[in-house]
Amino acid sequence: MPGMVAFGRRWGIASDDLVFPGSFELFVRVLWWIGTLSLYTLHKGKFDCSGGRVLHSYLVVLLILLAFIILSLCAIVYVSAQGTITNPGPRRSIPVLVYVRAMLYVPELIWAILGAIWVSDDSQGCRPAEVGAVIAAVVASWILLLSTGVGVLFVFDPLGTTHPGSQSQELLGVRDLESSQGSQLLSTARSVAVRVWESRLRLLCCCLPRDESHRAAFSSIAQLVSGFFSDTDLVPSDIAAGLALLHQEQDKMEQCRDPDEALSHSPSSPIAEDLQAELEKAAHCMQFAVAAYGWPMYVYSNPLTGACKLSRDCCKTQSAEYDIVGGDNMGCHFSSVLHSTGLQYRDFIYVSFHNQIYEIPFFVALDHKREAVLVAIRGTLSLRDLLTDLSADCENLPVEGVSGTCYAHKGMSQAASYICKKLLNDGILNQAFTIAPEYKLVITGHSLGGGTASLLAILLRSSFPTLRCYAFSPPGGLMSKALADYSKEFVVSVVLGKDLVPRLSYPNMEDLKRRILKMVSNCNKPKYRILLQGCWYELFGGEPDDFPTEMDNRRKEELNQPLLGEESLLIRSSSSYQGLASEESPVHGSHLPLFLPGRILHITEDGPSRRSCFSQVRYRVQWSSETAFRSVLISPRMMADHMPDAVLLSLRSLTQDRPFNLCPSSLSNSHLNVI
């Protein structure tokens, strides 16, 4: 629902978000009140020290003050738990209760100051237990006051200022905002939102330089993010509740699906020769994609011995022959690459760990086992990489011989162009093929590296017609349909399970927002119950809860009409709202559709989705299409399935036909050895 309006502004918290913080503070205050009452009862009539009368008065007033605070918190928690997300009527008294609770902070602050003065001046001669109790009360008061201040900063919304213009905007209504006045208000709100998001990005990336490329990236990302949230009035807890509902809804649909609908393959069943061959090549290339991450991934994958192995090579003076390595001052990155790939120094043509926005690390090596010149590109590992990821505008990428519109993800397109220029203009590939002229070119990478590798393969295809590319967990919003179809000849994408990143695109995120709006609008349970049951389901599993909806009692002919709750969550008519009545495909809106590259190998776990950490897991694999990744799947493994070590583990399991444990710590120290 819309953020709560109090003290003349809208906040990033709703009236039904006070159940949990209020309950926690209530618990603390009750314990505090009981402790103060016990102290007062035990020492009643015995305050015979020099400041005894002051201490007596302090405890009496503190008990009364705590009692009023406890009553106000009880009222806030009770009222905040009423109604549903889109039915705030039973909670209309929350602002008044918040004002009352805020007024009680004034005497509490005064009493905390008086308590501190008594401890410092008038506590001589009093018993240590009495003095300690007062000190504890004073410290607790200050901790709670400071915690409240921090909480206010967290829920402060820079865009929440209410003024006559915003009131008139609400009175205009959703449909009337097509007028000139409504358009002007929305344009002003949009520009303010962009400036706020730019400020947040600059604060987050305060350690980065303020050059033109960074300013352009900040502006582009701010416009993207502010535009995505501009047509809704959801607070973060609404999104969390919607995700919890959507996860259970998706799990129910998955349980109802016929297991024979999808044709799957595993090493123990007949597999087409091309699939088996591609699996083996992908498993081999994945070790290089993992190695490109340098020492952090090596230590993560080898927690017991990784740091010790690298410590022998890090921080020591490098010999002159290491001149091919750039951007690795301590030598730890290159040392981890040597350990991970099993290659010798002489097998490397060029290694760069130079990292700027749109300029990501990569290395070029001779893979004698597969007779290939291999280019491995690193994935996201820094703030600069994250800015490259989030520069998600479309950029033209003309390719000779490709019919149709050619465009791609801006950040990865520029990163691919940077690497392409280095490879060609600096003669890196010429040097490699001079040494091994019969070898073929293979490009690989994971995540950001996978997307960049796919675009780099497209750029180099005309010069190297036999090249191959293996992109692991590439982003879904990568390239146009024309480029995606063109890349099927030489690019293979590998996606594990319910990985979020290959499903990330603006249309998919609009679809996710639309589904969240529908779930929170229709559910007739209070938010605190949704969140509690959602947390229980995520942690311990069980059967998905069958949440009744506000549509259960509606007549069938009313189901096509927009719900009042849905309209209340929207600031203006948007693609999200227009798509609420449809359960089909995502709404693209004004953003161009982007797709995964090449042919897609989809790896899934064979068996129940929930297992203990040390359970044995087998995988199955099948060729898939881009339509299978047109919606975001909510799952506890949506990020874990994106990790490069998890992708490598699944490929090793498929090629070696043996199960693996799910725990990273259970992996052997040779986890990254040559396959």
Last residue of a domain, one of 117, 135, 155: 155
- In a domain? residue 250: no
| The one catalytic residue among 499, 511, 641, 645 | 499
* CATH code: domain of residue 440: 3.40.50.1820
> What is d(CA 455, CA 77) in angstroms, rounded to the nearest whole number?
54
- In a domain? residue 197: no
| The one catalytic residue among 141, 447, 473, 493 | 447
**What is the CA 340 to chain-centroid distance, rounded?**
28
Is residue 274 scored above 80 in pLDDT? no
Q: Which two tokens stand for residue 587?
A: 């709404």
More confident: 58 or 31: 31
**What is the per-residue pLDDT across 39-66, written as a single tens digit (0 to 9) for each?**
778 767 666 666 667 777 778 888 999 9
447 is catalytic: yes
pLDDT of residue 316: 55
Instruction: Let me know if 636 is exposed, middle or buried by CB neighbors in 10 A (0-12, 13-18, 19+).
Output: middle
Last residue of a domain, one of 108, 133, 155: 155
- Residues 144 and 289 grouped into a single domain: no
- Which residue has 């339509």 as its token pair? 627
- In a domain? residue 671: no
- In a domain? residue 319: yes
Average model confidence (pLDDT) across the chain: 79
> What is d(CA 558, CA 584) in angstroms, rounded to the nearest whole number?
19
- In a domain? residue 655: no
- The closest of 133, 112, 109 to 123, measured between CA atoms, is 133
> What is d(CA 239, CA 517) in angstroms, rounded to the nearest whole number?
8
Listed ranges 437-446, 521-530, 650-659; the one with the highest mean pLDDT: 437-446
- The closest of 215, 338, 217, 237 to 18, measured between CA atoms, is 237
Among the ranges given (27-31, 300-304, 655-659, 667-671), the one the predictor scored with the smallest mean pLDDT:
667-671
Last residue of a domain, one of 155, 184, 200: 155
- In a domain? residue 451: yes
Give 605's strand partners.
Answer: 619
Is residue 434 scored above 90 in pLDDT? yes
Domain of residue 449: give its range.
285-472+482-490
179 is catalytic: no
- In a domain? residue 432: yes
More confident: 329 or 373: 373
> What is d(CA 649, CA 428) in angstroms, rounded to the nearest whole number?
32
Is residue 587 scored above 50 in pLDDT? no
> What is d(CA 322, CA 331) in angstroms, rounded to the nearest whole number?
9
Residues with Cβ within 8 Å of residue 587, at least 6 apart in sequence: 507, 510, 511, 514, 575, 576, 578, 579
The model's confidence at residue 494, banded by pLDDT at 50, 70 and 90, is very high
pLDDT of residue 186: 58
User: For the residues of 356-416, what is the DSSP string, one character each?
Assistant: BTTB--EEEEEETTTTEEEEEE----SHHHHHHHH---EEE---TT--S--EEEHHHHHHH
How many structural domains are present in the chain? 2
**Is pTM, for the whole model, over 0.85?**
no
- In a domain? residue 140: yes
- Residues 441 and 298 grouped into a single domain: yes
Question: How many residues are recorded in the chain?
Answer: 675
pLDDT of residue 299: 87
Helix (H) or strand (E) holding 41: helix 19-42
